[in-house]
Structure 1
Amino acid sequence: MSPAPRDPHADGPFTPVAEHVRACLDLVRPLPPLDVALRDALGCVLAEDVVSPRPLPAFDNSGMDGYAVRVRDVEGASPEAPVRLPVVADVPAGSGDALRLPGGTSARIMTGAPVPAGAEAVVPVEWTDRGVAHVAVRRAPRPGQHVRRAGEDVAAGVVVVEAGTRLEPRHVGVLAAVGRARVRVRPRPRVVVVSTGTEVVEPGAALGRGQLHDANGYLLTAAAEDVGALAYRVGVVADDAGALAGVLDDQLVRADVVVTSGGVSEGAYDTVKEVLSGRLGERAGHRVRFGRVALQPGMPQGAGTLGEQRVPVFTLPGNPVSAFVSFEAFVRPALRRMLGAQGPDPERPRVRCVADEGWTSPPAKEQHVRCAWTRGADGRLHVAPVSGHGSHLVTALARTTCLAVVPVGTSVVEVGDEVECVLLGPLPVGAA
């Protein structure tokens, strides 16, 4: 990368990206834990370590449909010389009978059924003639074969799901398996998404001259849900101060967070800024700071609280790419904190990648470039931009798999340079 000297004529001053991240995080706290039914825990973050109260499995059980036997009683069994044993019991799954297998006998047993005391292995039904009163065993099992031992999965007192885990279906299954009907979780934050702009109309509606569809409302709602929040998209609000103030007042009753897009720049119709700052904002109890952050795209930003309830609000730019980059940089970390997550975001790993193409960067700003990564012949991750820098070039988002982060002070990224990239998905296998 090529460094650039500070330009005294740059259109600053700018708030550093890291400083605005800290300001956003300072507005939120982890939501208080709730005790919820297991069925309602999906997508929430676990607020406690869950330990298994008993061994799993809790008893020795059969891994196959077949016959429980003592190994010495079927030693040497073969198709040419099967061993015949009397069947003295049937053991179905769920049987509570305390059985002991006498020597020289067998017990027909189903998968998951408790293995009788004295039995040393299970002969799969396919190795037999499937007899009922007597069975011919055509192959001898090894000691312990097809027996699931008590505690083989987990011992009593062992943590099976750790606090801080965002619960997915696989976790819910484990919690049920160890007998938990209820768990303590961080609730999913309720995020209200508001798009603003007289020129913005609903998808599906015919566009008039100068109009565009509401990409931001759907993008930001989906992004909030992807983090784990419960997101509510409000219909588009026109550039009318009274209308916007009314919508925000109405939405505060169901919001843990409000995210707006549009109306935060320096224009004559930047209604979000008008409603949330100055005397109008003060009268409503809003405390929102607006400024220019050293981010490209996404320079105009605002963050603060709404009303006497002090509901956190993040006001993002109106261009869809700027709104997306701003959400990733500022809102996503805040929502993760509300969910109780700590440390790096496992769903947004940062890795070093090799630039396969060069591009320019404004030296006064931290640039987040839409890129796609590939695995090179050298085994490393390589990246190339998928679009120009314009924040209105929205369709390239569909091809974006990472954001290349170019630091302040760099004016050119050259082919072969290493750049830090935020992957918009899990870390690829083998990535450094």
Structure 2
Amino acid sequence: MSVRSVDDHVAQAMALVEPLGVERVPLASALGRSLAEPIAALYDAPPFRTTSMDGYAVASGSGGAGAWDVSADGPAGIAPPPLAPGTVARVMTGAPMPDGADAVVPVEDTDRGVDRVEIRRWPSAGAFVRQAGEDLRTGDVVLDAPRRLRAVDLSAAATAGAPDVSVVRRPRIGVVVTGDEIRPPGSVLEPGEIFDASSTTLPALIEEWGGVCAGVRVVGDSEADLVAALDSLDADLLITAGGVSAGAYDVVKTALAPEGVWFGPVAMQPGKPQGLGMWRGVPIVCAPGNPVSVVVTFLVVVRPMLREMLRLPDSGMRAAVVGEGWRCPPGRAQAMPVRFEGGLAFPATTGGSASHLIGSLSRAEAFAMVDADTEEVRAGDTVGIMRLSP
């Protein structure tokens, strides 16, 4: 069987999905969501002239340092009266500026008087005053789409007056993990048994990258149980872990290949055995069972599918300089776990990119993605870096 390149496999996966629909959600629920429509300011921001310091509002051309009568208080949230001639008004940060005043004396430059105040330093016009519309004008685009909404984006949208936003529906992704040998964490392991990491890892990756887990099923090496598990999930995309290689008990391959799902080698390490296709009209990605292979399959294959469904551009890779080199598998693209030190990338594990080293993967900050024709990465080389999280 011919070996697929990583680029070809990802292209085949991307052809299975399309952008999802749009829904309105409250702004407070939009963190991490994919913005579908631009957000424009509904009002000027600030909507009026406001103070940027606690202090005293003055008419800068009416006098100078010395003793002044305080004619009014101006707390935030209350429209103040016009400034009486020959006086100053006490104001708080964020309060509206009184008509007739054009500058603020910071409270630190005064004796903090209430009825009469000693001003030690006189301001120039405009000092410590925020002009109306200084940040935003009505109709200004605050946030372009598409984008993944961050906390600071929600703050900008709130400042623009948006109570809710249009976002792309989150892809629902179902997970099926297979294997007679896997047991949930906390179990007492018998000989030949291992703890199941994938049923924890995959839902976490799905949530982290903007999807929602539509359910997790853990089944043994039974074709009937696998099919029942897949059919029980209402999802936009299905992911399986385990049972895709060439062994006697590779149940996923045995059950799904006759239904038209492709199985074969992809030129990458880890994660060489792969499956891809449609199951009952739903795209399905079939990953190997080894934990690091599951993570790499998700990031290399599923992540771009998710971003397509979420209408987000591919975040791409950034470049990093290598601080310590390593050997590469011949003829396969390599996903090497790396950490960063002094701005340089170093191997994060002592075992290279082996597919079983999930325990030490927690030390990694990214994968260095090395081309299939590279035999060795040396210190000083530049490599592409794929982040482990958004």
The alpha-carbon deviation at position 340 of structure 1 amounts to 1.0
Matched, 1:22 2:22: no
Which residue of structure 2 aligns with residue 69 of structure 1?
58
Measured at CA, do residues 375 and 134 of structure 1 come closer, stay the same or move farther in structure 2, by a change above 3 Å? closer
Structure 1 unaligned regions, length at least 5: 1-11, 78-82, 282-286, 428-432
Measured at CA, do residues 221 and 426 of structure 1 come closer, stay the same or move farther in structure 2, by a change above 3 Å? closer
Which residue of structure 1 aligns with residue 241 of structure 2?
261
Matched, 1:370 2:341: no
Q: Is the 8 A contact 1:406 1:419 kept in 2?
A: no
Which residue of structure 1 aligns with residue 70 of structure 2?
87
Matched, 1:56 2:41: no
Matched, 1:298 2:295: no
Q: Is the 8 A contact 2:21 2:168 kept in 1?
A: yes
TM-score normalised according to structure 1 size = 0.84
Q: Is the 8 A contact 2:348 2:360 kept in 1?
A: no
The alpha-carbon deviation at position 176 of structure 1 amounts to 1.1
Q: Is the 8 A contact 2:56 2:106 kept in 1?
A: yes
- Per-residue displacement from partner, 1:261-281 (whole Å, max 9, x unpaired)? 001111221111223231xx3
What is the distance in 1 between the residues matched to 2:287 and 2:167?
29
Q: Is the 8 A contact 2:215 2:233 kept in 1?
A: no
Question: Residues 16-415 of structure 1 correspond to what in structure 2 (within 5 A)?
Answer: 16-75=5-64, 77=65, 83-96=66-79, 99-252=81-234, 255-278=235-258, 281=259, 287-307=260-280, 310-345=281-316, 349-354=317-322, 356-363=324-331, 365-375=332-342, 381-384=344-347, 386=349, 387-410=351-374, 412-413=375-376, 415=378
Tell me which stretches of 4 or more aligned residues in structure 1 moved more than 4 Å: none
- Partner-residue secondary structure (3-state), 1:291: strand
Q: Is the 8 A contact 2:335 2:353 kept in 1?
A: no
Structure 2 unaligned regions, length at least 5: none
What is the distance in 1 between the residues matched to 2:90 and 2:248?
83
- Per-residue displacement from partner, 1:357-376 (whole Å, max 9, x unpaired)? 3314222x222222334336
Amino acid in the other structure paired with 1:303: L
Give RMSD over aligned pairs.
Answer: 2.2
Measured at CA, do residues 43 and 406 of structure 1 come closer, stay the same or move farther in structure 2, by a change above 3 Å? closer
What is the distance in 1 between the residues matched to 2:67 and 2:183?
79
What is the distance in 2 between the residues matched to 1:62 and 1:419?
50
Count residues with an aligned counterpart.
389
- Partner-residue secondary structure (3-state), 1:34: strand
- Per-residue displacement from partner, 1:24-57 (whole Å, max 9, x unpaired)? 1111111111122212212111111112132211
Amino acid in the other structure paired with 2:369: V
- Partner-residue secondary structure (3-state), 2:166: strand
The alpha-carbon deviation at position 235 of structure 1 amounts to 4.2
- Per-residue displacement from partner, 1:216-260 (whole Å, max 9, x unpaired)? 1212222122211122551421111111211211112xx222111
Measured at CA, do residues 173 and 414 of structure 1 come closer, stay the same or move farther in structure 2, by a change above 3 Å? closer
Q: Is the 8 A contact 2:320 2:385 kept in 1?
A: no
Q: Is the 8 A contact 2:326 2:376 kept in 1?
A: yes
The alpha-carbon deviation at position 214 of structure 1 amounts to 0.9
The alpha-carbon deviation at position 93 of structure 1 amounts to 1.3
Which residue of structure 2 aligns with residue 284 of structure 1?
none
TM-score normalised according to structure 2 size = 0.93
